Amino acid sequence: MSTDYEARLNELGITLPNAPAPAANYVPSVQIGDTLYVSGQISQNENGLIVGKLGKDMEVAEAAAAAKTCAISLLAQVKSACGGDLNRLQRVVKLTGFVNSTLDFTNQPQVINGASDFLVEALGDAGRHARSAVSAAALPLGVAVEIEGIFQIKT
């Protein structure tokens, strides 16, 4: 059975942006065999960076929405690495999510659920993945969330 991920994203009202360019001395992704490692994607949308610190000036629901933007950027990077063909994606293997939060904030998993839930909704079983959700005292540019991913792709 063939899957058209772009069509499913369109049904969800999602258009993948151009893959964000690296902001420093690194590459957006590295492919080894059928495994694609995608560098951390920060929370941002068409209006710019989504900044904030959980436990201080941002609520979980708002941060979960920010995590979803990271997942959208991850898919944009996968599409770019696959020569523009998102359907080469076989599955999401693992996400590592970093949440900009205070020392006493403990709901990092609920924040990263914003990315996980979106990937399962968009990709079905291919979106189910292993995951880590951890706190960070600060993230680049003050963003609320950063997520990196490992993906299996068709070679």
131-149 burial: b if 16+ Cβ within 10 Å, else e: bebebbeebeeebbbbbbb
Task: Write out the two tokens for 34.
Answer: 């059928």
Q: Does domain 5-13+26-153 have CATH number 3.30.1330.40?
A: yes
pLDDT of residue 3: 79
In sequence order, the 6+-apart residues with CB closer than 8 A to the CB of 135 are 98, 99, 101, 103, 105, 108
Task: Provide the residue ranges of all domains of the chain, joining segments of one domain with +.
Answer: 5-13+26-153
Give the predicted TM-score (pTM) of the model.
0.97
Q: Are 19 and 76 in contact (CB under 8 A)?
A: yes
Regions of the chain with pLDDT less than 70: 1-2
pLDDT of residue 2: 57
Give residue 149's Cα distance to chain centre.
7
pLDDT of residue 1: 42
Distance CA(110)–CA(114), nearest Å, equals 7
pLDDT of residue 30: 98
pLDDT of residue 152: 98
Distance CA(20)–CA(77), nearest Å, equals 7
pLDDT of residue 89: 98
